[in-house]
Structure 1
Amino acid sequence: MKHEKISPLQLFYVILGFQIGNTFVFGLGGGAKQDAWLVILVSMLGGFILMLVYTKLSNYYPDDTLIQMIPKIIGKFLAIPFILIYISYFTYLAARACRDFAEILAASMLVKTPLVVVIGSFMVLIVYCFRGGIESFCRMGEAVIPSYIMALSIIWILLLTVDEFDINNLSPILGNGPKPILKEVFPKVLTFPFGESIIITMFFPYLNNMGRKGTVGMAAILLTGVLMTVNLILVLSVLGPEIYSRNFFPLLTAAQMVSIADFLERFDALVILTMLAGVFFKIGGWTFGSAIGIAQLFKLKQNRSVFLGIGTILTPLSLLIAPSQIRHNEIGLDFFTLYFHIPLQIVFPIMLLCIAFIRKKI
């Protein structure tokens, strides 16, 4: 797959779809209540810094993925544990994204469909796409993401028609001071979704124009932040800060309130279908990072069978990682953020960049 190349626009769409894949339905920054939209803007600034770290690190090793960089920076002996941790990290996050997608779909549309059927069907689609190579996956981004944004815009326009819509729900701005905002920014929203852009280090070597990698990364962070901010402003205006802070899927709740002439209703189905398109890139991105990491660790000449193996593992793994949706959310928001997101998205990449800078200077 290494000989395959993708354009900067294709990579931009893939990373954008990856970041916004399943984030819109969640109540991000709920602890800041009416200032939740400010949480996104502040987190976006942190996302720019992290993307700068990932881009600079890739500039030192332009032909290598993150898995290939690590041995060159800290040595082969020390690199093995970190490589295994990153591969496990990518695999687990792919399973989490599968579980999130299946739980939302089962609760809203496919009520009587077993989760294993929902997840298994989706994984067949992703594995089939990657059997055609990274170019097929990235072409999907070009085709799907513009339609995703268009559908999202339609949902926003519909929210403006809700009788309960009141822009005054956003006031008072900074009514509780900056502390609740900063508490939501770090580590929650900074690591999800902006810190997850570390997956871009697995795509950089396939870019056909290396000089555009910084532009692609920063543009993806910027548009992600803008889209999420607009979404939160509209959802908060419909639901109000109190309901928003207590609702785990506020966009779905807001969409259910849309009613046109008491005839056109249940637009939450449109939200689910939109999320379906975005989650494809979220799960696909983590699956790609895991499979390519395994192939590079064991120096495999072809990785199609690796994608098949990862796809087979993810279906049962997504069901076994937590006994219930509540426990699943607790693990992701508390334990995993503190002990995995922060070290692997922030601490270790910065440490690698510092070591790489010193090695190049010496």
Structure 2
Amino acid sequence: MGQTKINALQLFYVIVGFQIGNTLVYGLGGGAKQDAWLVTFTAMLGGLILMFVYIKLASYYPEDTLLQMIPKIIGKYLTYPFILTYIIYFTYLASRACRDFAELIAATILVDTPLVFVIGSFMVLMVYCLRGGVETFGRMGEAVFPVYVMSMFVIWILLFSVKEFTINNLTPILGNGLTPIIKEVFPTVLTFPFGESIIIMMFFPFLNNKKNLIKIGMAIVLTTGVLMTLNLIMTLAVLGPEIYSQDFFPLLSATRMVSIADFLERFDALIILMMVAGVFFKVGGWTFGAAIGISHLFKLKQTKSVFLGLGTIIVPLAIVSSPNQVAYNELGLDFITLYVHVPLQIMFPILLLCIAFIRKKFSSSKSQS
């Protein structure tokens, strides 16, 4: 698997799909009310900085994944706790993405179906795809991403037909000042989804041409930010800030209001299609990162069996992680975001970059002398 490669366009599709993933159906930045769209736009600027950190690290160690470069930066004996932490982190986030998918499915079309069957059947397909290698995953990205974007644009066009649609729902801009926006940007929206792009560091060694890493990375963040901002504008224009901030799935609620000539209604299927496509990228990315990390840790030559093992772990973990949707969201917002996302997505990579920079400067000055 380590010899297979993906091209820049495939990486773009996979990581943009990964970042957007399941985030479009959620009400990001709800605390900022009508300025929620400014939250995603502002967080995008922070996402550009984080992407620069990841790409700069990759430029120092172009043939290594994140977990391979850690021993070279901080030393072999300090590295194992960090590698284990990232493997557990990737695995847990894969289970959370599966739970997101199952909760939406259970709330819409499969109301009486146990979550274990929804998650289990999805993971069977996911493991089957990933066992084909990173090249298969990249090609699936080429096939799935256009469907995802097409569904998104169709939904936006349909939202224009809702009689409650009014751009006045976005006014007054900055009516509550900058404070609510800043509180929503950090740490919540900066880490979800922009900080999650740290997974790209597990894909860099598989890229067949690394000349334009900075362009690819910046294009990924900008595309994600623009699509999410437009989506929030459309959703807010239909629901208004009050309903938007209180709804678990605001895009789903807005889409349910679409009624063309009292005949064409119930476009929920488009949201489900988007969710399936988005979770494909999200779960696939996290599972791929965890499997590659395990293969590095135990020096395995192949990862097919690792994917199978991870699939059997992720399914029960997604079920037992929280008893219900409310507790699940509280765990993610109150604990995971601040005490897990921020250190692993922001603080530790910046620390690694600083150490790597010093090492490179010291080694270059030593060689010159």
| TM-score between both structures, scaled by the size of structure 2 | 0.97
Gapped runs of 5+ residues in structure 1?
A: none
Residue 78 of structure 2 aligns with which residue?
78
Partner Cα separation in structure 2 for residue 263 and residue 273 of structure 1: 21
**Distance apart, 1:268 and its partner CA:** 1.9
Secondary structure at 1:222 match in 2: helix
| Equivalent position of 2:357 in the other structure | 357
Secondary structure at the aligned position of 2:314 is classed as: helix
| Corresponding position of 1:114 | 114
Instruction: Give the 5 Å matches for 1:169-188.
Output: 169-188=169-188
| Per-residue Cα deviation, 1:17-43 (whole angstroms, up to 9, x for no partner) | 101110000000000000000001100
Deviation at 1:278, TM superposition (A): 1.1
Corresponding residue of 2:31? 31
Aligned residue identity for 2:11: L
Supply the distance in 2 between the matched residues of 1:201 and 1:276 (Cα, whole angstroms).
Answer: 24
Distance in 2 (CA, whole Å) between partners of 1:322 and 1:150 is: 33
Give the structure 2 partner of residue 275 of structure 1. 275
- Matched residues in 2 for 1:205 and 1:252: separation? 38
1:96 to partner: Cα distance = 0.4
1:62 maps to 2:62: yes
| 1:254 maps to 2:273 | no
Aligned to 2:264: 264
- Deviating above 4 A after TM superposition, structure 1's stretches of 4 or more consecutive aligned residues are none
Partner secondary structure for residue 211 of structure 1: coil
Paired residue type of 1:114: P
Show the counterpart of 1:338: 338
Q: Is the 2:40–2:228 contact (alpha carbons within 8 Å) kept by the matching residues of 1?
A: yes
Distance 2:113 2:50 in 1: 40
- Could you say which residue in structure 2 is the equivalent of 1:228? 228
In structure 2, the residue matched to 1:127 is: 127
In the TM superposition, what is the alpha-carbon distance from 1:261 to its structure 2 partner? 0.9
Q: Per-residue CA shift, 1:188-226, capped at 9, x if unaligned? A: 000000000000000000000111222111111101000
Structure 1 partner of 2:15: 15
Separation of aligned partners in 1, 2:43 and 2:239? 23
Contact 2:159 2:255 in 1 (8 A): yes
Cα distance, 1:183 vs. partner? 0.5
What is the aligned residue count? 362
**Amino acid of the residue matched to residue 227 of structure 2?**
L
User: Could you tell me which amino acid in structure 1 is paired with residue 7 of structure 2?
Assistant: S
Percent sequence identity is: 72
Deviations 1:72-119 (A, max 9, x none): 000011100000000000000000000011011111111111111100
Equivalent in the alignment of 2:41: 41
Q: Counterpart of 2:313 in structure 1: which amino acid?
A: I
State the SS of the aligned residue for 2:211. Answer: helix
| Alignment-derived partner of residue 327 in structure 2 | 327
Q: C-alpha distance in 2, partners of 1:150/1:104?
A: 20
* Equivalent-residue separation in structure 1 for 2:163 and 2:297 (angstroms): 56
Shift of 1:256: 0.4
Equivalent residues of 2:151, 2:273 under 8 A apart = no
Which runs of 5 or more structure 2 residues have no equivalent in the other structure? Answer: 363-369
Partners of 2:148 and 2:273 within 8 A in 1: no
What's the TM-score once normalised by structure 1's chain length?
A: 0.99
Cα separation, 1, equivalents of 2:317 and 2:297:
22
